[in-house]
Amino acid sequence: MADQARGPLVLQTVGLKKHFGGLQAVNGVDLDVPDGDLRAIIGPNGAGKTTLFNLITGDLPHDSGQIYFRGEEVSRLAPQDLCRRGIGRTFQVTSIFRRLTVLENVQTALLSHHRRHYDILRPARRLYRETALALLERVGLAGQAAKPSGILAHGDQPRRRYRPGGGADHPVHRARHGRRVRGGQAHHRPSSGRGDRRGDAPRGPGQPRGAAGVSRTPGGPGALMPLLEIRQIDTYYGDSHILFGLSLDVEKGEVVCLLGRNGAGKTTTLKSIIGLDPPRSGRIVVRGRELAGLSPYRIARLGIGYVPEERRVFGNLTVRENLEVARKTWGDGAGAAWTAERVFELFPHLRGLRDRRAGRLSGGEQQMLTIARTLMGNPDVLLLDEPSEGLAPLVVEMLGEQLGGLKRTGLTMIVAEQNIHFVSELGDRVYILEKGMVRYQGTMAEFLANEDVRRAHLAV
Ligand SMILES: Nc1ncnc2c1ncn2[C@@H]1O[C@H](COP(=O)(O)OP(=O)(O)O)[C@@H](O)[C@H]1O
Ligand SMILES: [Mg+2]
């Protein structure tokens, strides 16, 4: 293969190898990518996909083998040199400048690519404006250019993370999870049609509130006080009205699923609860205690554990250290206290990795560790934001079983998801959100039996 004519190949690897200690992460990978081609790299979690990317981009040095880009050997070049030659990438975990606008994020990358740090005659915000807008147009984000990038729904963020290596003519663009590659339109999730999500459609009380009706009257005769009660909350980001009079209840020991398309308001609901985006009106009450005005830290101390969509582990600490630093002794002592040992019983896979640095874990392993770490805070209610996102099917299955085990311990959970299959066994009840409102609620069994609801609100 090494001797094959390299003319038409834009990227080629020959016998690429990498090991971490005793683990052979990448073992002799030969990859040929002809110009203009789209290649998928498929494999279960831990198979070495991200490591292979890291070798190609020079983010990690390889042990042996060669990398050719447009026929030129680039095996030992630094990431920034590879980037300038035209190898761009996205990352599994989003990394954007949240306070800059979407447009400024792209301009920043262009400025750095062209080594233009300032221009004496023009403010930076005017430099590369047209090129940046053209790039945003290509990925369908031109309409969001002026917004602060922190406001994008998670699924929209990764598209701006590549390092531009040649303006709009980026020859190699690697992407994860079927996201856009070279002008293609593959998304791994159903799109809700960006731009029409909020603020522009009338949403009065006249709109249907769930075809199958509301199956349960919280607080009705004989009902216990819910562990968590959300009453008519309205949440905003700046001037943008995101949640509209949203109410939901969670009983002790229940697993409640928040379903809905990208941008429906699932993450915002969870952030409203944990106090990262507190509602402007309405009430959130946990065990009779109103949360208004409390900081996220205080809310966590009241027993709410939050596992955000983007996995958060301390990359330089080992698995065990990640768990130990998260250990808290607060709480009312009602729930059994979590220890690393107990966590390993639930996540046996993590036990074998306990001395590995968390930064070296695969995406699925990091997700397990993030959940495990949150458990170390002994929450009474666990909020999980799209835990299955981006994980391989086998890992999703394993995670589902582990969360099932967690449910059997009696832990109350709210799971935001787009993967219905993942929550179909785990969940007790379902709320479907759409444009920041509850459009349907019912038991999981009712929901699964109701194909109309799925078709109307979830595009499945
Ligand atoms: N910080 C923010 N500022 C402004 N708008 C935001 C912010 N975060 C999210 N949004 C918007 O709120 C809506 C709901 O988003 P989100 O709660 O992330 O949805 P989901 O989690 O269901 O995908 C989307 O239209 C999104 O663009
Ligand atoms: Mg979300």
* Ligand 1 lining (C-beta closer than 6 Å): 150-153, 197-198, 237, 240, 242, 260, 262-268
Query: What is the Å distance from ligand 2's center to 119 Cα?
Result: 38
Pocket test for ligand 1, best of 268, 310, 438 (most atoms within 8 A of CB): 268
**Which segments in the chain show pLDDT lower than 70?**
1-7, 44-45, 92-95, 116-119, 151, 153-224, 328-336, 459-460
Q: What pLDDT sits at residue 186? A: 37
pLDDT digits (tens, 9 = 90+) for 380-435: 999 999 999 988 888 999 999 999 999 999 999 999 999 999 999 999 999 999 99
Query: What is the Å distance from ligand 2's center to 269 Cα?
Result: 9
The tokens describing 210, both together, are 């769930």
Query: What is the Å distance from ligand 1's center to 153 Cα?
Result: 5
Cα gap 457→433, rounded to integer Å: 8
Closest CA to 278 of 222, 236, 215, 241: 236
Q: What pLDDT sits at residue 136? A: 84
Helix 393-408 / helix 363-375 crossing angle, nearest 10 deg: 10
Task: Provide the 10 A C-beta neighbour count for residue 430.
Answer: 25
Q: What pLDDT sits at residue 117? A: 65
Helix 102-113 / helix 129-138 crossing angle, nearest 10 deg: 120
Complete domains list, the chain, with CATH: 1-85 (3.40.50.300), 92-191 (3.40.50.300), 208-458 (3.40.50.300)
> In ligand 1, which atom is closest to the CA atom of 147?
4
Cα gap 30→53, rounded to integer Å: 13
421-to-175, 227, 398 alpha-carbon distances in Å: 25, 26, 13
Contact call for residues 430 and 422 (beta carbons, < 8 A)? no
Minimum CA distance residue for ligand 1 atom 5: 151
Q: What pLDDT sits at residue 155? A: 59
Q: Starting from the CA of residue 268, give the closest ligand.
A: 1
Query: What is the Å distance from ligand 1's center to 305 Cα?
Result: 21
Minimum CA distance residue for ligand 1 atom 2: 151
Minimum CA distance residue for ligand 1 atom 9: 151
126 phi-psi bin (left φ>0, alpha ψ -120 to 50, beta other): alpha
Q: What pLDDT sits at residue 220? A: 42
Q: What pLDDT sits at residue 336? A: 56
